[in-house]
């Protein structure tokens, strides 16, 4: 390993370096709107997506995968069955799995379902502030899929989820927040164009899964932080090349492939132990 | 409001201006092929998509949305249940909903289903000529998803649908036709590249929903016309920057974000009272 | 017909020329991840996609289509029912259908399902080496969706499938292999960027279906070979214009529209009778 740990102890480069070397298999059980862009983001960044999301295949796939993403954006009956199967198989085999609580708070069915999944101990949770607050049991504030409240407003909720589930909890916003039991990080940067692109948050959840799988040495917090730093770096580069949301999406995939481990090591993050 | 109503009384700029200001929540129950591009078109143009399309969530979402799109392109069992729930909730709350009868006429199951939905009084209907003719009960002429008959051939069918359902009926083609009970419009322009892109028509249906929701002052006919004018303007700009269907798709999303209300006010349309 | 048959007897230009002229209707029953990119690849190349994939519509659509694609990448319960309906209708009407055994070998459910479909005599089968080997009954070697074994390792399996089912069998890899009962072809070229794009293989399966439908004179082997040659030519052009996987995807669609029949006629292929 030629990566340099950051002085503050969060190794952002190591997980990316390992992802590029090993191309971890990331099983995605995600919503119907973003399957394609999620798979492309994983492929661009260096992971290998497998989108097996049906009852009868989900557990077999999870047992072979390096990480599992569960995104509840369109939680159809069969999807929920498959997600339960995948999560149980992941837990049984010690495979890390990530929960993305899309739309939780705004819609009742998925809110109950996502909260129920918490018992199976995700390695990480990623959402916007209103989703994280609702997942932690606070009264709903969002109107569905976009973030309508401030990242910092979700800090108590993120801490509670981290304490009660053991997960690393990430709150996406203008400045991302990563909350683990032992420390808290803030990851600045990124581009507002990501909010004009469907699947911007959902693909980040998939990269969180991929990089947590590659963060055995550095720990899951480093994996979660590396995913957010990769997103920030790639979206800033893409913004510099874009004329609008269409060309941003294209440039963003290019940049996900182009960002190197050393680029992440050079990015600023704030750490509070 | 700083928009200028057109001399002929159709305010194309007003609905777009309001969409940019309010980012209306547009619930899309649409076909599996185009969910991603539909959400991206809405985001690019300034609306907020929410794609909740499952039984148990569809009604709750519709009650919170500013408009609902129902596109019958892949009408699976669960989709049809969710669409009925969403349409009923939209009607109950006075939320405008739009019907896109994709493939109606060519396939029997969806033809019956789409015709049944008419009883719930869509605010607007958008399709190609063969779909509109089949929806109005004429013998099928299409072979599925592409337009195989002339826009003007659908004029009697559009008038009948407008009269019987109260909807504003739009027929897409080289020159778009917008038929309401009180007047008829023709909106020229656009680009043939749109026919080489899947979801070209489907995304237009979503924009119709978004702009009808923003046309309270100007009336639903203005909202439908504004969506078609936005599409014509954006596709013409994109065609000028494209080398083929891939680069057209990218440039089209960029252009949807870029077109301003004043650009629509400057476009020609024909009005017959 | 103004195409020139190749000296070695494989007419690559003829099927493409006919596809451009007739825009054959290609029904795709494919996985949820790639519906959009598959439809766009068909539209770009000159075919007309129709994605009707539900029980109750699949057979009616297959009876009207020029070719049918069955891709088992996300074989949900309803998808499997619809695929059986479509395949039976295609066989009854003499419509060629193509099997893409995505993930076969790695996952048990779909492996059994895909093997069962072989009894309905696909006109062509397209997969990577590990999928083709598993479909032919060899022990699984893949980890899901990416090719982990050499194209030549699948030659015996491809020959067995061609002999037992009558299908033309294509194995995708750095050099593609096309195996028919009467002869074997090797089609060099292409771009490694295709492996960084989800749906790269799946869209090729759809083009195989489209070009087999247009190869009545030249025979299905020429249709399968033409699809692979079109892919090789278009991906090489796109690679020359791309900065990464995002811009490659865009340039690839442009190139699919741009490649002419004469371009295929000029490409090298190896033929062993």
pLDDT of residue B140: 61
Report chain A residues whose CB lies below 8 A from the CB of C105: none
**Alpha helices, DSSP H, located in B167-266:** 200-213, 220-239, 245-258, 261-265
Q: Does C8 touch chain B (CB under 8 A)?
A: no
DSSP SS3 for B269: coil
Run of H or E residues at A186: strand A184-187
Q: Is the pLDDT of residue A141 over 60?
A: no
In the block, which residue shows the tokens 């309803």?
C78
Q: Are residues A257 and C196, on separate chains, in Cβ contact within 8 Å? A: yes
Phi, psi (5° rounding) for residue C100?
A: -115, 105
Torsion of CA B156, C50, C166, C156, to 10 degrees: 170
* B193, closest residue in chain C (CA to CA): C44
Percent with pLDDT over 90 in chain B: 89
Q: How many Cβ contacts (< 8 angstroms) between chains A and B?
A: 97
Q: Does B19 touch chain C (CB under 8 A)?
A: no
Q: Does C239 touch chain B (CB under 8 A)?
A: no
Q: Is the pLDDT of residue B232 over 70?
A: yes
Encoding tokens for residue C48? 């007309």
Mean pLDDT of B124-128: 97
| Residue whose C-alpha is closest to residue A154's, from A164, A145, A162, A166 | A162
Name the pLDDT band for A140 (thresholds 50, 70, 90).
Answer: low
Cross-chain CB nearest to A44 (options C75, C103, C246): C246
Q: Are residues C244 and A44, on separate chains, in Cβ contact within 8 Å? A: yes
Report chain C residues whose CB lies below 8 A from the CB of A257: 196, 244-245
Percent with pLDDT over 70 in chain C: 93
Encoding tokens for residue A90? 């992941």
* Interatomic CA distance for residues A96 and A138, integer angstroms: 26
In the block, which residue shows the tokens 């874009």?
A242
Report chain A residues whose CB lies below 8 A from the CB of B257: 196, 244-245
Q: How far is B167 from chain C (nearest CA, A)?
A: 27
| Residue whose C-alpha is closest to residue C137's, from C109, C167, C158 | C158
pLDDT of residue A144: 47
| Residue whose C-alpha is closest to residue C162's, from C152, C149, C171 | C171
* Interatomic CA distance for residues B185 and B170, integer angstroms: 9
* B255, closest residue in chain A (CA to CA): A244
What is the CB neighbour count within 10 angstroms for residue A88? Answer: 14
* Interatomic CA distance for residues A50 and A38, integer angstroms: 10
Interior angle at CA A168, CA A166 and CA A171, nearest 5: 135
Q: Does C213 touch chain B (CB under 8 A)?
A: no
**A237, A259 contact by CB (below 8 A):** yes
pLDDT of residue C66: 98
Q: Facing residues of A176 across strands?
A: A187
* Interatomic CA distance for residues B173 and B186, integer angstroms: 11
Domain spans in chain C, listed from the N-terminal domain onward = 13-272
DSSP string, A87-117: HHHHHHHT--EEEE-TTBTTBHHHHHHHHHH
Which residues make Cβ contacts (< 8 Å) with residue C240, sequence separation at least 6?
A: none
Q: Does B125 touch chain A (CB under 8 A)?
A: no
* B43, closest residue in chain A (CA to CA): A196
Phi, psi (5° rounding) for residue B181?
A: -60, -35
Report chain C residues whose CB lies below 8 A from the CB of B247: 250-251, 253-254
pLDDT of residue C208: 98
Cross-chain CB nearest to B33 (options C39, C48, C257): C39
A13-272 CATH pick, 1.10.3720.10, 3.40.630.30, 3.40.1190.20, 1.10.10.10: 3.40.1190.20
Mean pLDDT of B28-35: 96
Q: Does B108 touch chain C (CB under 8 A)?
A: yes
Name the pLDDT band for B272 (thresholds 50, 70, 90).
Answer: confident
* Interatomic CA distance for residues C101 and C257, integer angstroms: 26
Q: Does A108 touch chain B (CB under 8 A)?
A: yes
pLDDT of residue A4: 43
Report chain A residues whose CB lies below 8 A from the CB of B48: 143-146
Percent with pLDDT over 70 in chain A: 93
Encoding tokens for residue C21? 């002229």
Q: Are residues C33 and A51, on separate chains, in Cβ contact within 8 Å? A: yes
What is the CB neighbour count within 10 angstroms for residue B11? Answer: 26
Q: Which of A128-142, A220-234, B139-153 has the highest mean pLDDT?
A: A220-234
Name the pLDDT band for A139 (thresholds 50, 70, 90).
Answer: confident
* Interatomic CA distance for residues C229 and C222, integer angstroms: 10
Q: Facing residues of A185 across strands?
A: A178, A271
- Largest Cα separation within chain A, whole Å, is 47
Q: Does A152 touch chain C (CB under 8 A)?
A: no
Which residues make Cβ contacts (< 8 Å) with residue A139, sequence separation at least 6?
A: none
Digitized pLDDT (tens) for each residue of chain C, 273 residues in all: 334 445 567 999 999 999 999 999 999 999 999 999 999 999 999 999 999 999 999 999 999 999 999 999 999 999 999 999 999 999 999 999 999 999 999 999 999 999 999 999 999 999 999 999 999 999 765 554 445 578 999 999 999 999 999 999 999 999 999 999 999 999 999 999 999 999 999 999 999 999 999 998 778 999 999 999 999 999 999 999 999 999 999 999 999 999 999 999 999 999 886
Which residues make Cβ contacts (< 8 Å) with residue A114, sequence separation at least 6?
A: A72, A99, A101, A104, A135
Q: Are residues A244 and B257, on separate chains, in Cβ contact within 8 Å? A: yes
* Interatomic CA distance for residues A86 and A60, integer angstroms: 8
Q: Are residues C243 and A249, on separate chains, in Cβ contact within 8 Å? A: no
Q: Is the pLDDT of residue A148 over 80?
A: no
Q: Is the pLDDT of residue A187 over 70?
A: yes
pLDDT of residue C65: 97
Q: Are residues A36 and C31, on separate chains, in Cβ contact within 8 Å? A: no
Encoding tokens for residue C135? 């479909």
Run of H or E residues at B266: none
Q: Is the pLDDT of residue B153 over 80?
A: yes
Residue A124 vs residues A62, A168, A264: alpha-carbon distances, Å: 16, 5, 20
- Return the half-sphere exposure (C-beta side, CA atoms, 13 A cut-off) of residue C167: 30
Handedness of CA C72, C74, C77, C81 (dihedral sign): negative
Q: How far is C176 from chain B (nearest CA, A)?
A: 25
Report chain A residues whose CB lies below 8 A from the CB of C244: 44, 253-258
DSSP string, chain C: ------TTS--SHHHHHHHHHH--EEEEE--TTTHHHHHHHHHHHT-EEE---STTTHHHHHHH-SEEEEE-SS--HHHHHHHHHHHHHHHHHT--EEEE-TTBTTBHHHHHHHHHHGGG--SEEEEEHHHHHHHTTPPP---SSS--S-GGGGHHHHHHHHHHH--EEEEESSSEEEE-SS-EEEE----GGGGGSTTHHHHHHHHHHHHHHT-TTT-HHHHHHHHHHHHHHHHHHHHTT-SSHHHHHHHHHHHHHH--HHHHHTS--EEE-
Mean pLDDT of chain A: 93
DSSP SS3 for B35: helix
Cross-chain CB nearest to C103 (options A52, A78, A249): A52
Preferred mutation among B112, B144, B191, B202 to probe C, highest tally of C CBs within 10 A: B144
Q: Facing residues of B68 across strands?
A: B27, B97
Cross-chain CB nearest to B56 (options A33, A109, A199): A109
Q: Facing residues of A116 across strands?
A: none
Report chain A residues whose CB lies below 8 A from the CB of C145: 48-50
Preferred mutation among C28, C49, C54 to probe B, highest tally of B CBs within 10 A: C54
* Residue with more model confidence, B273 or B225: B225
**A36, A30 contact by CB (below 8 A):** no
DSSP string, C62-116: HHH-SEEEEE-SS--HHHHHHHHHHHHHHHHHT--EEEE-TTBTTBHHHHHHHHH
Q: Is the pLDDT of residue B266 over 60?
A: yes
Q: Are residues C44 and B244, on separate chains, in Cβ contact within 8 Å? A: yes
Report chain C residues whose CB lies below 8 A from the CB of A51: 31-33, 73-74
| Residue whose C-alpha is closest to residue B184's, from B172, B199, B168, B196 | B168
Q: Does A49 touch chain C (CB under 8 A)?
A: yes
Mean pLDDT of A4-23: 85
Percentage helix, strand, coil, to 5, in chain B? 50, 15, 35
**A202, A249 contact by CB (below 8 A):** no
| Residue whose C-alpha is closest to residue B231's, from B207, B251, B261 | B207
**A111, A144 contact by CB (below 8 A):** no
Burial class (CB in 10 A: 0-12, 13-18, 19+), B48: buried
pLDDT of residue A147: 52
In B107-243, DSSP assigns E strands to: 124-128, 168-172, 176-179, 184-187
Q: Does C249 touch chain B (CB under 8 A)?
A: yes
DSSP SS3 for B171: strand
Report chain C residues whose CB lies below 8 A from the CB of A43: 195-198, 245
Burial class (CB in 10 A: 0-12, 13-18, 19+), A159: middle
β-pairing, B168-172 vs B176-179, is antiparallel
Encoding tokens for residue B113? 């289903």
| Residue whose C-alpha is closest to residue A101's, from A88, A111, A90 | A111
Report chain C residues whose CB lies below 8 A from the CB of B145: 48-50
**A16, A24 contact by CB (below 8 A):** no
Q: How does pLDDT run across A26-72, given as a tens digit for each residue?
A: 999 999 999 999 999 999 999 999 999 999 999 999 999 999 999 99
In the block, which residue shows the tokens 């705004």?
A106
Report chain C residues whose CB lies below 8 A from the CB of A64: 106, 143-144
pLDDT of residue C149: 73
Q: How does pLDDT run across C127-166, given as a tens digit for each residue?
A: 999 999 999 999 765 554 445 578 999 999 999 999 999 9
| Contacts of C151-155 spanning 24+ positions with Cβ under 8 A | C151/C175, C151/C176, C151/C177, C152/C177, C153/C129, C154/C129, C154/C130, C155/C179
Preferred mutation among A33, A83, A104 to probe B, highest tally of B CBs within 10 A: A33
| Predicted complex ipTM | 0.94
| Residue whose C-alpha is closest to residue A187's, from A228, A233, A130, A239 | A228
DSSP class of residue B106 equals T
* Interatomic CA distance for residues B31 and C96, integer angstroms: 26
Task: Beginning with the edge strand found earlier in the chain, give each strand of the sheet holding B176-179 in spatial order.
Answer: B48-50, B25-29, B67-71, B97-100, B124-128, B168-172, B176-179, B184-187, B270-272
Run of H or E residues at B98: strand B97-100
């Amino acid at each position: 390993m030629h990566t340099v740990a950051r002085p503050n102890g969060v190794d952002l480069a190591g997980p990316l370096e390992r992802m590029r070397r090993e191309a971890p298999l990331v099983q995605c059980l995600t919503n119907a709107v973003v399957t394609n862009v999620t798979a492309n983001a994983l492929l661009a960044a260096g992971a290998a997506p497998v989108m097996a999301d049906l009852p009868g295949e989900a557990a077999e796939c999870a047992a072979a995968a390096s990480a599992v993403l569960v995104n509840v954006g369109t939680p159809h009956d069969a999807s929920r069955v498959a997600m339960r199967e995948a999560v149980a198989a992941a837990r049984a085999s010690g495979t890390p799995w990530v929960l993305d609580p899309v739309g939780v708070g705004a819609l009742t069915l998925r809110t109950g379902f996502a909260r129920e999944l918490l018992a199976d101990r995700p390695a990480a949770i990623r959402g916007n502030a209103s989703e994280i607050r609702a997942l932690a049991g606070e009264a709903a504030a969002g109107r569905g899929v976009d973030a309508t409240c401030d990242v910092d407003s979700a800090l108590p909720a993120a801490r509670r989820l981290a304490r009660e589930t053991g997960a690393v909890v990430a709150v996406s916003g203008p400045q991302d927040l990563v909350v683990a039991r032992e420390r808290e990080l803030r990851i600045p940067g990124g581009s507002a164009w990501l909010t004009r692109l469907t699947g911007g948050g959902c693909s980040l959840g998939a990269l969180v899964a991929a990089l947590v799988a590659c963060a055995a040495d550095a720990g899951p917090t480093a994996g979660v932080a590396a995913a957010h730093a990769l997103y920030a770096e790639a979206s800033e580069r893409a913004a510099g090349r874009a004329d609008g949301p269409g060309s941003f999406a294209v440039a963003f995939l290019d940049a996900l492939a182009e960002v190197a481990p050393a680029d992440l090591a050079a990015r600023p993050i704030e750490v509070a132990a």
